[in-house]
Amino acid sequence: MTATAVFVPAWAKINLTLSVLGKRPDGYHALASVMQTISLCDTLRIETTADERVICAVDVTELDNDDNLVVKAARLLLAEEQLAGGVAIELHKAIPSPGGLGGGSSDAAAVLTAIARLRGLVLPQSRREELGAQLGSDVPFFMHGGTALVEGRGEFVTPLPDVEPLWLVIARPPVSISTAAVFGALTGDDYSATLDTDAVVAAIRGGKPLPLDRLSNTLEHTVLRRWPAVAATRDALLSAGAPIVRMSGSGPTLFAPFVSLKDAAQVYESTRQADIETWLCHTVSHTQVVGALPAFPTT
Ligand code: C5P
């Protein structure tokens, strides 16, 4: 029997590097970033239906409306590919949002991929990324997942070999920051060259361990200066023993990478005891991302 409903994980991401190179004439910023899928994930149940409606129920009240990127993604795919019928979606949120972990973008990418598969639609990678870019700057990355170099405003995705598996302590400062506000606060002096991103890409392509001292984020300095709650959470992670702490995307979420679970667990426990919202998770490879997708129909 052909499946009409599937469960799909929508993984979060971190930015191992995020180099903001400058402002573009269209108002967006030119980026070079190494993005990495992580095991923190939302879960979607996606069912294709005979009637024309697109409906979505979310277990977080603030997101339970038609402005949800998930609904936009389903409507976009049905219209662009001229697919008859509708979609019923249930979304269980686990990724803090907004937070710099790409939760909404990952949900949207999962919807595009799942509906295409349920309807037996084979979309080339370039078409998948083009559809993704219409929904948001981070969506094209999630159409691929694993480790990738992301450029332009986010629409150019170059897959990279998997990084060595790393444990991650994720901590969310108690503050909500809009992506537009962070980019808008940048001045000409804040922009960076691609040096750190280049070094990280070269190490990954060379099969070398990730150079943790080259992880960087151009937006971090601005956010730490303007939002003291983020600096306080960063200090808590450092005091708990994390050797490296970086911000993901436009924040405020922070991450600390570890090779050893024992070290990660110790930092996780002491940060959690300091009443900071914290997760212990790990990197997710491209193979794992692909393996978790629903199969194409066989009949
Ligand atoms: O594309 P998305 O909706 O995720 O972007 C949200 C906001 O973040 C944009 O309106 C813009 O202000 C800022 N942004 C940017 N440069 C990027 C990505 C996002 O300035 N490359």
Closest atom of ligand 1 to CA, residue 138: 4
State pLDDT tens for residues 145-184. Answer: 999 999 999 999 999 999 999 999 999 999 999 999 999 9
* Active-site position among 42, 93, 107, 138: 138
- For a ligand 1 pocket test, name from 107, 178, 179 the mutation site with the most ligand atoms within 8 angstroms of its C-beta: 179
Does the pLDDT of residue 297 top 90, yes or no? no
Nearest residue to 203 via CA among 215, 217, 219: 215
State pLDDT tens for residues 101-112. Answer: 999 999 999 999
Poorest-pLDDT segment among 6-10, 17-21, 123-127? 123-127
Global pTM?
A: 0.95
Residue 298 pLDDT grade (very low, low, confident, very high; cuts 50, 70, 90): low
Mean pLDDT of 258-280: 96
Mean pLDDT of 225-241: 97
pLDDT score for 3: 67
Closest atom of ligand 1 to CA, residue 183: 20
Nearest residue to 241 via CA among 229, 258, 228: 258
Q: 147-152 and 156-159 as β-strands: parallel, antiparallel, unpaired?
A: antiparallel
pLDDT score for 63: 82
Mean pLDDT rounded to a whole number for the chain: 94
pLDDT score for 299: 55
CA–CA gap between residue 37 and residue 132 (Å, rounded): 16
Does the pLDDT of residue 65 top 60, yes or no? yes
Task: Say which DSSP state 159 is in.
Answer: E
